Amino acid sequence: MRKLLSIALCLPLAACTIGEDDPGSGGDDQGPGGTVTPPPDGSLVGLISQDTTWSGTVLIGIANQSATRIDSGVTVTVSPGTVIKFKSGASLDIKGTLRVQGTKDQKVTIGPSADNAFALVLGAAPTAGTLELSYVVMTRGNIQTNAGSKATIVDTKMYKSAGDLLIMNGGTVNMTYSQIGPAPGETETTHCNIHTGGDANTISITHSNINGAPYGLMLYGGLNADFKLNNWYDNTTDVDTQPGVSGDVSGSWFDGAPPTAGSSATLTANNLATGKLTDAGVR
């Protein structure tokens, strides 16, 4: 059901890299003879070169210092109830499409095999990646978008990243009815829930909970970003801005004072809610 070519093309990457065109691409170390030998633990390594479906438990590994990659034009569909685990040093480089289709009763779990960090990295144009998450719980990972890529996230909870969690270096993010942050009593390690950089960002994050981190949002790149109708709480700083950015947090609820834009930045905050929104977060 899974076919791997014997080529590994992408170096693993560090979390929270802003400003690179494609932090998921690196050297082409293919190992001796250009081959990748699957590890004896059955973990998935190398290049995924044809459409496939994952179910049960899937272990993402690392071979020859290279990340596992979904090739351009290839779709990997993840079935409800699947558990995806990343070994230490492993990342998934998405040049094609990763479609994760959990349900309310059978969520997909994405996390480390131990307590290691990992990344889902969407390739940049001309091999821009696509990520679709529905009813997912992700811990210890981060998502990185790049120019031309697209992430659609709905009814998903993500928290406990090793650094920043949703990192935009370009591309499009459309997130609804989700949560970036812990539930009461859960340990949190994320530094910034959402960190945007660069100029070519299209951002719509609505009807969601953004909570529990030193920074809820570092709006450091993007114009007319849509952050309406969210709950912002238990963050040290809800929204931090850099000059030249603009966003709209109208209709949202803040557990403290509403945010104010920094120098040469614009934040619109109309009709703010007086109590926590009940139609935000995972349904």
Q: Rounded to the nearest 5 degrees, what angle is found at the Cα of 55, between the Cα atoms of 54 and 58?
A: 75
Do residues 146 and 123 make contact, with C-beta atoms less than 8 angstroms apart? yes
Q: Which of 16-30, 33-47, 53-67, 95-109 ranks highest by mean pLDDT?
A: 95-109
- In Å, how far are 59, 60, 118 from 41, measured between CA atoms? 9, 10, 19
Question: Tokens 């920074």 sit at which residue?
Answer: 215
Arithmetic mean of pLDDT, 59-67: 82
Model confidence at 5: pLDDT above 50: no
Arithmetic mean of pLDDT, 193-203: 91
Do residues 130 and 149 make contact, with C-beta atoms less than 8 angstroms apart? yes
Q: Report the predicted TM-score, pTM, of the whole model to 2 decimal places.
A: 0.87
| Residue-level pLDDT at 38 | 67
Q: Residue count of the chain, please give it.
A: 283
| Residue-level pLDDT at 20 | 33
59 DSSP 8-state letter: E
| Residue-level pLDDT at 36 | 56
- In Å, how far are 36, 46, 89 from 32, measured between CA atoms? 8, 14, 20
Do residues 158 and 140 make contact, with C-beta atoms less than 8 angstroms apart? no
Model confidence at 39: pLDDT above 90: no
| Residue-level pLDDT at 65 | 66
Model confidence at 262: pLDDT above 90: yes
**Mind listing the pLDDT tens digit for each residue in 155-178?**
999 999 999 999 999 999 999 999
**Mind listing the pLDDT tens digit for each residue in 64-122?**
767 899 999 999 999 999 999 999 999 999 999 999 999 999 999 999 999 999 999 99
Do residues 206 and 230 make contact, with C-beta atoms less than 8 angstroms apart? yes
Average pLDDT across the chain, whole number: 88
Portion of the chain with pLDDT greater than 70, in percent: 86
Do residues 236 and 222 make contact, with C-beta atoms less than 8 angstroms apart? no
Q: 3-class SS at 33?
A: helix
Strand-pair category, 4-5 with 47-48? antiparallel
| Residue-level pLDDT at 143 | 98
> Six-digit token pair at 73?
């034009």
| Residue-level pLDDT at 63 | 73
- The confidence band for 18, taking pLDDT boundaries of 50, 70 and 90, is very low
